[in-house]
């Protein structure tokens, strides 16, 4: 009897009425929130313990923009606060782990590092300067700042140095001469520190213990202009290539055991993207998800959008690619932040904060690098579709 029932259920499930022909789909969505006007809207962070707030830097008037988020994670209000003076050049931001709720910042034109209390309980309250650290000479022009324990690592873009400084004892510091225009800096699990140098198309490797510095050239066949560079969940350093006025190559990579491992976007939109920044997230099945920011900052013809890729569990292979093109082009997308299932992106030349909701299971559409996508586009291989509000 049990065998007969099992066979009957199997037969019924093969009939059209019982077929799994319905899909739940989350539509792609980008919402752009205007910010107080500025010509250069730069970095963004969320202070530790204050997920309801985003802090954004605007260099052109040295302002902090405080953006509150509602219970659904969407921006709800924004307020501008000038830090020091309008000519101080507020640029780099980093949420501090040593001082929860506070944020490290760079004053690019005043040659200072600041620890700010953004006062995240009140959007209208001006941030407080808790600590000042002067950039040691002959370096100047602090750009990006990161924190590892008691140490800050800072790129000094215009003077071509990378700075290590103890924020508890600022007399303990080291200046490492770099090639032209160091931009980002990050430390790997092995303890090695890497800095992207966009105008020399090389990545600088620093051994903090020995002080040894090596230069790792970017192979010309892979592209040029290493920019965004971060520590990945796998403990390795990941980076992107922005390309040049001749175009982008949709290339990103990781540095593992001092060797480059290269990855390329292969979709129609992605293969010529100029990638500027990156951030890791996660999809519902636990696979690592990497969000790559494409920007028109170098070449106005390049796409402004996000390319999200699913990676294998060991991070050595791209499994799926997806593109999200932004409504406002020529906006020079600049930085990307992942907060839970939401992406936030600053638009450098458009004074805007873009919000992209990412539901846990994301899209059920065919991956953009498959034959099905080339035939149906965003079409779903199902007879019935239920649209889900993201």
For residue range 133-190, list pLDDT tens digits in order. 999 999 999 999 999 999 999 999 999 999 999 999 999 999 999 999 999 999 999 9
pLDDT of amino acid 364: 60
Q: Are 347 and 354 in contact (CB under 8 A)?
A: yes
pLDDT interval class at 23 (50, 70, 90): confident
> What is the average pLDDT score of the chain?
90
Q: Which two tokens stand for residue 328?
A: 């406002």
pLDDT at site 363: 53
| 269 has pLDDT over 80 | yes
pLDDT tens-digit readout, 239-268? 999 988 778 899 999 999 889 999 999 998
pLDDT surpassing 80 at residue 283 = no
Residue 26 has pLDDT above 50, yes or no: yes
Residue 329 burial by CB count (10 A; 0-12/13-18/19+): exposed, middle or buried? middle
Given this model, what pLDDT does residue 244 score?
81
Helix (H/G/I), strand (E/B), else coil: 54? strand
Measure the CA–CA gap between 303 and 330, rounded to whole angstroms: 8
* pLDDT level of residue 362 (50, 70, 90 thresholds): low
In this prediction, what percent of the chain has a pLDDT beyond 90?
A: 74
Beta strand pairing call for 75-82 and 318-325 = unpaired
120 vs 70, 124, 341, 364, CA distance in Å? 14, 9, 21, 37
Please tell me the pTM assigned to this model. Answer: 0.91
The β-bridge partners of 213 are: 206
**Sign of the CA dihedral with 309 first, then 204, 115, and 101 last:** positive
Which of these, 194, 164, 191, 167, lies nearest to 182 by C-alpha position? 194
Which is more confident, 4 or 32? Answer: 32
Does a cis peptide bond (omega within 30 degrees of 0) precede residue 35?
no
Mean pLDDT is lowest, of 63-67, 204-208, 281-285, 300-304, for 281-285
- Please give the full DSSP string across 333-389, using - where no structure is assigned: EEEEEEETTEEEEEETTTTEEEEEE--TT---SPPTTSHHHHHHTT--SSSEEEE--
Q: State the average pLDDT over residues 201-213.
A: 96
What is the mean predicted confidence (pLDDT) over 24-33? 89
**Positive or negative torsion for Cα 160, 166, 169, 172:** negative
Contacts of 186 (CB under 8 A, 6+ apart): 146, 193, 194, 229, 230, 231, 237
Q: How far apart are CA 378 and CA 160, in angstroms?
A: 46
Neighbours of 268 (CB within 10 A): 12
């Amino acid at each position: 009897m049990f065998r007969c029932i099992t066979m009957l259920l199997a037969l019924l499930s093969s009939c059209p009425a019982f077929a799994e022909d319905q899909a739940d789909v989350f539509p792609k969505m980008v919402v752009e929130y205007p910010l107080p006007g500025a010509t250069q809207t730069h970095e963004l962070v969320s202070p530790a313990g204050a997920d309801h707030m985003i802090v954004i830097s605007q260099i052109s008037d040295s302002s902090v923009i405080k953006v509150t988020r509602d219970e659904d994670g969407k921006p709800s209000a924004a307020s501008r606060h000038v830090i020091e003076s309008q000519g101080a050049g507020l640029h780099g931001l980093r949420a501090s782990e040593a001082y929860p709720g506070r944020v490290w910042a760079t004053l690019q034109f005043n040659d200072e590092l600041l620890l700010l209390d953004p006062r995240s309980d009140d959007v209208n309250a001006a941030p407080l300067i808790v600590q000042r650290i002067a950039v040691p000479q002959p370096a100047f022009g602090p750009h990006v700042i990161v924190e590892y324990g008691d140490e800050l690592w800072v790129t000094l873009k215009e003077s071509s140095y990378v700075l290590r400084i103890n924020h508890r004892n600022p007399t303990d510091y080291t200046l490492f001469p770099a090639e032209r225009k160091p931009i980002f800096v990050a430390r790997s699990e092995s303890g090695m520190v890497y800095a992207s140098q966009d105008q020399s198309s090389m990545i600088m490797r620093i051994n903090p213990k020995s002080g040894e510095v090596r230069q790792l050239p970017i192979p010309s066949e892979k592209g040029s202009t290493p920019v965004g560079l971060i520590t990945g969940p796998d403990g390795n350093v990941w980076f992107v290539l922005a390309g040049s006025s001749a175009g982008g190559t949709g290339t990103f990579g990781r540095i593992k055991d001092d060797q480059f491992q290269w990855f390329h976007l292969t979709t129609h939109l992605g293969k010529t993207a100029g990638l500027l920044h990156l951030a890791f997230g996660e999809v519902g099945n636990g696979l690592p998800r990497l969000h790559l920011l494409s920007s028109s900052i170098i070449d106005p013809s390049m796409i402004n959008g996000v390319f999200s890729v699913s990676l294998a569990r060991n991070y050595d292979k791209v499994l799926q690619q997806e593109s999200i093109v932004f409504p406002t082009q020529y906006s020079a997308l600049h930085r990307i932040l992942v907060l839970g299932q939401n992406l936030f992106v600053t638009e450098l030349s458009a004074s805007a904060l873009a919000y992209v909701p990412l539901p846990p299971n994301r899209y059920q559409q065919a991956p953009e690098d498959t034959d099905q996508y080339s035939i149906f586009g965003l079409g779903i291989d199902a007879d019935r579709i239920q649209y889900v509000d993201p």
